[in-house]
């Protein structure tokens, strides 16, 4: 446990030294390009392969049974596409949103004296790791289908739920820290 805490401390210290307006600007531009250009293209490809069927990473709560229903509905070509896209697009996308959230929390977190709150920059790192765990596990389930992967098929929904929860918390931390930064940078005039 000491090693984990030491690693977290190192990440927080390094992030503080790397945080800059330029890094936040570039990560924001990258995030916007993904949201406006790349994600819509990927969504249209998903519709071509999956139709209106849900995907594990696009869902918030689902069961192992739902995961197998998705695998069945995709068909062989859809499952192959799913696996391929998890190891191409879905490696880059988590890095893009993770970088944006990490850069924002690191930059705006400099405005708070509460050093513990700076540890929220670990949330995007955790979100990216959970996303990778979700993608890898779901891909194995898709690859093995129609055979079953009982443990993995129950872990995938947990990874998905945890990922979306941590992403949400990351955006909340980003917003709160940005408000603190704005409050300190542009204080309200006193009467």
Q: Is residue 187 part of a domain?
A: no
- Of residues 114, 121, 168, the one with CA closest to residue 24: 121
Contacts of 38 (CB under 8 A, 6+ apart): 89, 93
Q: Is residue 20 part of a domain?
A: yes
Q: Is residue 110 part of a domain?
A: yes
Overall number of domains in the chain = 1
Q: What is the arithmetic mean of pLDDT over 128-145?
A: 98
In this prediction, residue 116 carries a pLDDT of 79
Establish whether the linkage from the previous residue to 16 is cis, with ω within 30° of 0.
no
In this prediction, residue 171 carries a pLDDT of 98
In this prediction, residue 19 carries a pLDDT of 84
In this prediction, residue 15 carries a pLDDT of 79
Average pLDDT over the chain, rounded to whole? 94
**Half-sphere exposure at residue 75, Cβ-oriented, CA atoms within 13 angstroms:** 6
In this prediction, residue 117 carries a pLDDT of 79
Q: Is residue 61 part of a domain?
A: no
Q: Would you mind telling me the total number of residues written for the chain in this entry?
A: 191
* Contact of 97 with 34, CB cutoff 8 Å: yes
In this prediction, residue 50 carries a pLDDT of 94
Helices (DSSP H) in 87-149: which residue ranges? 89-109, 122-144
Domain with 28, as residue range(s), is: 2-51+68-181
In this prediction, residue 76 carries a pLDDT of 97
Structure tokens of 158? 């947990």
Q: Is residue 128 part of a domain?
A: yes
Q: Is residue 59 part of a domain?
A: no
Q: Is residue 107 part of a domain?
A: yes
Cβ atoms within 10 Å, residue 38 = 15
Contacts of 96 (CB under 8 A, 6+ apart): 27, 30, 31, 34
- Of residues 86, 26, 4, 103, the one with CA closest to residue 50: 86
User: What is the pTM assigned to this prediction?
Assistant: 0.92
Structure tokens of 18? 């790397």
Q: Is residue 186 part of a domain?
A: no
Q: What is the pLDDT of residues 23-78, one digit of tens each?
A: 999 999 999 999 999 999 999 999 999 999 999 999 999 999 999 999 999 999 99
Share of the chain above pLDDT 70, in %: 99
Q: Is the pLDDT of residue 79 over 90?
A: yes
């Amino acid at each position: 446990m000491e090693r984990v805490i030491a690693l977290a401390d190192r990440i927080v210290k390094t992030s503080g030294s790397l945080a800059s307006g330029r890094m936040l600007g570039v990560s924001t531009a990258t995030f916007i390009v993904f949201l406006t250009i790349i994600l819509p293209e990927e969504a249209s490809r998903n519709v071509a392969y999956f139709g209106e069927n849900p995907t594990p990473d696009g869902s918030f709560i689902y069961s192992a049974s739902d995961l197998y229903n998705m695998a069945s509905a995709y068909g062989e070509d859809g499952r192959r596409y799913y696996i391929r896209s998890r190891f191409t697009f879905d490696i880059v996308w988590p890095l893009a949103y993770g970088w944006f959230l990490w850069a924002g929390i690191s930059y705006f977190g400099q405005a708070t004296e509460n050093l513990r709150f700076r540890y929220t920059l670990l949330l995007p790192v955790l979100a990216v790791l959970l996303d990778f765990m979700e993608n890898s596990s779901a891909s194995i389930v898709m690859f093995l289908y129609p055979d079953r992967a009982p443990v993995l098929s129950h872990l995938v929904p947990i990874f998905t739920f945890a990922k979306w929860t941590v992403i949400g918390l990351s955006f909340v931390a980003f917003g709160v820290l940005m408000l603190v930064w704005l409050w300190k940078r542009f204080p309200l005039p006193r009467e």
